Amino acid sequence: MVKQISASSEIPKQGKVILDFFTTWCGPCKKISPVFENLSKQYEKIVFLKIDAEDAEEIANNQYEIQSFPTFIFLIDGKEVDRISTSKETVLTEKIKIFKNDFV
């Protein structure tokens, strides 16, 4: 299940987390959103979070320096281990499989 957040205090400091930075006007963000939702149901041990970059500018600009949308950031125990900017379902799906299996 995907939860939308607007404060960095809502990001878990333990475990695997994927942040989806998006905007409401971004076409590619709208395209990939249902894919992200479906993947959250497949990988229940990973926390899936959405962050509207316009509502949470502090997180998007200052904390993670987001340059394009959508951007997915992969965290383990609060530390960034990877990031991708894509709206391609196959790329996101493969990256999450690797994240689930390879990063322990």
Q: 8-29, pLDDT tens digit by residue?
A: 999 999 999 999 999 999 999 9
- Of the chain, the percentage scoring pLDDT greater than 70 comes to 98
Active site residues: 26, 29
Domains by residue range for the chain, with CATH: 2-102 (3.40.30.10)
pTM of the model: 0.95
**Which tokens hold the place of 22?**
């998006």
Helices (H) and strands (E) in the chain, counts: 3, 5
Assign 94 to helix, strand or coil.
Answer: helix
Spatial separation of the C-alpha atoms in residues 86 and 70, rounded to whole Å:
6
Query: Which H, E and C letters describe 29-68, residue by residue?
Result: HHHHHHHHHHHHHHCCCCEEEEEECCCCHHHHHHHCCCCC
